[in-house]
């Protein structure tokens, strides 16, 4: 799988976020969705736009606001006096890549319009089901700092996102490159597609062939059960979370050029897949800060499988009967 041209194309607009780009692409190839949560001005929207421009797919950007209606997402049946019939007018969700900007500014009623589309790749309007374009990928952004006029995403909706990423501030060197880049005509406007929709679908099918040994499944289950048994966790990772981790690991390994998933892949991906799915004791406001610490303790305490490599591939042997 050659995803390098796409990564290089996105990096023309985004500096110093190679691993984050790989994670987003892995989620896309795995059939999942991504939530970018960070303070304003860290490049969330630019990254989403650069991703969309790199693929020759239909793209829709939806600016979520408190007055946004669910019908603007899903579509609406409107009456035509000339024909005397109702015609379905598609909403913003009808695109291959959908950018939901500042998703937490919309009301819960509008946010719920995303649930069916993200889970089943379809929307229902007036009792009629409309299938969304394939492939279908949602990348949403939200600001965790500014809380006035926002509506926190419910846990059921957070669980629909395969992973959540925090971009963070760039380094001083990266900031200097960004200033030099942005002071001239924007690179984002000059980006051209480097991957056709057919190639994207082929890569999505290809990642499913990435091998995952049974002991890796057991390792994922052990990590998830450890979140449920932790003293500081009120609600641990669901079955959907475990499946998301396995699928993301397949795609991430494929993008990295590997033929199989390793325990190191799982450890690397656990924070961005599990953290937003955990409800901690002591209030939701503490969740983002402490979930990562809890997951660090869990990955340190749960024994990982030992790898032994052979010419024909990789076989795994558990170093503990609990794994």
Residues 24-80: tens digit of each pLDDT: 999 999 999 999 887 776 677 788 888 888 988 888 999 998 999 999 999 999 888
Cα four-point dihedral sign 48, 51, 53, 56? negative
d(CA 311, CA 317): 16
Higher pLDDT, residue 296 or 82: 296
Q: Hey, which of 152-156, 197-201, 319-323 has the most confident mean pLDDT?
A: 197-201
Please tell me the least confidently modeled range out of 115-124, 235-244, 309-318: 309-318
CA distance 215 to 221: 10
Q: Which two tokens stand for residue 135?
A: 């492939």
| pLDDT tier at 92, thresholds 50, 70, 90 | very high
Structure tokens at 272: 């961005």
Q: What pLDDT does residue 310 have?
A: 44
Whole-angstrom Cα distance, residue 273 to residue 157?
Answer: 14
Instruction: Please state, in angstroms and rounded to a whole number, the distance separating the CA atoms of residues 272 and 23.
Output: 9
Average pLDDT, the chain: 85
Instruction: Output the CA–CA distances (angstroms, integers) from residue 16 to 12, 44, 174, 251, in the order listed.
Output: 10, 13, 6, 21
- The pLDDT, as a whole number, for residue 180 is 74
Check if the beta carbon of residue 92 is closer than 8 Å to that of residue 132: no
Q: Is the dihedral of CA 88, 93, 96, 101 positive or negative?
A: positive
Rounded to two decimals, the pTM is 0.86
* Spatial CB neighbours of 27, under 8 Å, sequence gap ≥ 6: 33, 34, 137, 162, 163, 248, 251
Nearest to residue 62, comparing CAs of 53, 50, 49? 49
What is the average pLDDT across 154-178? 83
Distance CA 100, CA 105 (A): 10
Instruction: Judge whether 292 and 271 are in contact, CB under 8 Å.
Output: yes
For residue 134, the SS3 value is coil
Work out the average pLDDT over 239-267: 94
Q: Which of 70, 64, 72, 51 is nearest to 143 (CA)?
A: 64
- Locate 60 and state its tokens: 């829709």
Unique residue bearing structure tokens 């406007």: 189
Contacts of 58 (CB under 8 A, 6+ apart): 94, 95, 96, 97, 133
pLDDT bucket at 263, cuts 50 / 70 / 90: very high
Q: How many beta carbons lie within 10 A of that of residue 257, not counting itself?
A: 10
């Amino acid at each position: 799988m050659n995803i390098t041209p796409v990564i290089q194309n996105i990096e023309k607009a985004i500096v110093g976020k190679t691993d984050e780009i790989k994670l987003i692409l892995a989620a896309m190839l795995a059939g999942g969705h991504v939530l970018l949560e960070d303070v304003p001005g860290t490049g969330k929207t630019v990254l989403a736009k650069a991703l969309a421009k790199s693929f020759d797919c239909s793209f829709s950007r939806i600016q979520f606001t408190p007055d946004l209606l669910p019908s603007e997402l899903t579509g609406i049946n409107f009456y035509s006096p000339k024909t005397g019939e109702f015609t379905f007018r598609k909403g913003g969700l009808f695109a291959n890549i959908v950018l939901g900007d500042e998703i937490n500014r919309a009301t819960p009623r509008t946010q719920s319009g995303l649930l069916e589309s993200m889970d089943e790749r379809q929307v229902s309007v007036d009792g009629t089901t409309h299938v969304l374009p394939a492939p279908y990928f949602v990348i949403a952004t939200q600001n965790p700092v500014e809380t006035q006029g926002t509506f926190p995403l419910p846990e059921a909706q957070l669980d629909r996102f395969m992973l959540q990423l925090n971009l963070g501030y760039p380094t001083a060197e990266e900031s200097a490159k960004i200033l030099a880049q942005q002071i001239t005509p924007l690179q984002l406007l000059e980006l051209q597609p480097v991957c056709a929709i057919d190639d994207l679908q082929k890569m999505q099918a290809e990642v499913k062939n990435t091998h995952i040994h049974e002991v890796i499944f057991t390792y994922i289950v052990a990590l998830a059960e450890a979140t449920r048994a932790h003293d500081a966790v009120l609600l641990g990772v669901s079955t959907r979370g475990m499946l998301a981790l396995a699928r993301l690991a397949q795609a991430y390994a494929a993008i990295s050029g590997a033929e199989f998933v390793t325990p190191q892949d799982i450890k690397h991906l656990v924070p961005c897949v599990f953290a937003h799915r955990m409800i901690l004791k002591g209030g939701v406001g503490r969740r983002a800060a402490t979930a990562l610490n809890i997951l660090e303790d869990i990955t340190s305490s749960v024994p990982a499988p030992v790898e032994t490599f052979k010419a024909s591939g990789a076989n795994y042997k558990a170093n503990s009967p609990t794994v």
